[in-house]
């Protein structure tokens, strides 16, 4: 689960059109960094669910590339005026035999909450 850090402030300061642009550009970048069999979707507000299928340990590299890529993303808000954003990511590996999808999402959400409490712009694993 991924959350755009300080998204409410972006909407409050720059407006919802810029907030929507942040969402679209973030989703586009994620889509370009994950594989064709992987899934990204907006979960609600500024939260995204990212499902990386058939991965061994390289999922950690992929998630770190996403975090760094968004950190380096410059989003134009006016002519020659840009903002940068960061994201926090909470990860829970899905154990198909021992948990439901809802349980997995709850664990990812707990990891995300921990990432936020640790100062944001970080990937935390359950």
Q: Which residues are catalytic?
A: 46
H or E element at residue 50: strand 47-51
Closest-CA residue to 126 (of 100, 99, 93): 93
Do residues 110 and 90 make contact, with C-beta atoms less than 8 angstroms apart?
yes
The first and second tokens of residue 126, run together, are 């359950």
Question: Residue ranges of the alpha helices (H) in 2-100?
Answer: 7-14, 16-33, 59-72
Do residues 2 and 45 make contact, with C-beta atoms less than 8 angstroms apart?
no
d(CA 61, CA 58): 5
């Amino acid at each position: 689960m991924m959350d755009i850090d300080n998204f409410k402030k972006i909407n409050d300061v720059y407006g919802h059109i810029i907030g929507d642009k942040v969402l679209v550009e973030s989703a586009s970048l994620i889509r370009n960094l994950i594989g064709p069999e992987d899934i990204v979707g907006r979960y609600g507000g500024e939260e995204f669910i990212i499902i990386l299928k058939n991965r061994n340990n390289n999922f950690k590299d992929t998630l770190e590339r996403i975090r760094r890529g968004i950190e380096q993303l410059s989003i134009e808000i006016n002519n020659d005026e840009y903002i940068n954003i960061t994201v926090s990511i909470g990860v829970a590996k899905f154990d198909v035999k021992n948990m439901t999808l809802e349980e997995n999402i709850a664990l990812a959400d707990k990891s995300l909450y921990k990432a936020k409490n640790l100062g944001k712009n970080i990937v935390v694993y359950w």
